[in-house]
Structure 1
Amino acid sequence: MSTAVRTSAFTEPDRPKGLLIRFVTTGGSYVDVTGHGEHFVTNRWTCHGCGDASRTPEEDYLFRIRPDANNHATACRAIPLT
């Protein structure tokens, strides 16, 4: 089984203000990590494919949500509908 990342066949959405990291999902969509950076608790991630997002943005330091966003991008097969 191949674990190579597939490039997206879809148009990349506009980059929101405060974009820190953008992951490409398995389905070709994107997961954005936005916020003010490493030392702030108001960072969050949002998936453009399925709409899932961080559960507790008031507690989300970048080091805590980066693995969650990456894991979601690895597992999500939803394609962007817009």
Structure 2
Amino acid sequence: MSIFQRFGNKPSGASDVTVLMRFLTQGGAAVEVTKVERPDRPYQWRCLGCDREEDTSYSDTARSEANKHATSCRAMPKSARA
């Protein structure tokens, strides 16, 4: 059971994939850190507001970069029609 199923507070625009963590942008969009099936760069973060994403080899790097992006990104959550 995901934390959002348990508490019912899934961020607007958040995807349905299993994520390691989420950060909130200044505009209210989610930035997700996921682990992907790729041996060389298994961690990825993606902003669900501005669509920026990066792949990395280390979870600490993904976490740090996602948090850094979230603190400066002003993207708002996309509408359901976007």
TM, length-normalised to structure 1: 0.68
Question: Which residue, 65, 68, 71 being the options, matches 2:68?
Answer: 71
Where 1:28 maps in the other structure, the secondary structure is coil
Question: Which residue, 49, 52, 58 being the options, matches 1:61?
Answer: 58
The reply to whether residue 27 of structure 1 matches residue 34 of structure 2 is no
State the alpha-carbon separation in 2 of the partners of residues 24 and 33 from structure 1.
12
Contact 2:21–2:34 under 8 Å retained in 1: yes
CA RMSD of aligned residues (A): 2.0
Instruction: Report which of the two has the higher share of strand.
Output: 2
Q: What is the aligned-residue identity percentage?
A: 36
TM, length-normalised to structure 2: 0.68
Which residue in the other structure is 1:46 paired with? Answer: 46
Deviation at 1:14, TM superposition (A): 4.4
Deviation at 1:15, TM superposition (A): 4.4
Residue type of the alignment partner of 1:71: K
Structure 1 69/29 Cα, relative in aligned 2: closer, same or farther at 3 Å?
A: same
The gaps in structure 2 that reach 5 residues or longer are: 1-10
Contact 2:14–2:48 under 8 Å retained in 1: no
The gaps in structure 1 that reach 5 residues or longer are: 1-10
How many residues align structurally?
Answer: 66
Would you identify which runs of 4 or more consecutive aligned residues in structure 1 move more than 6 Å? none
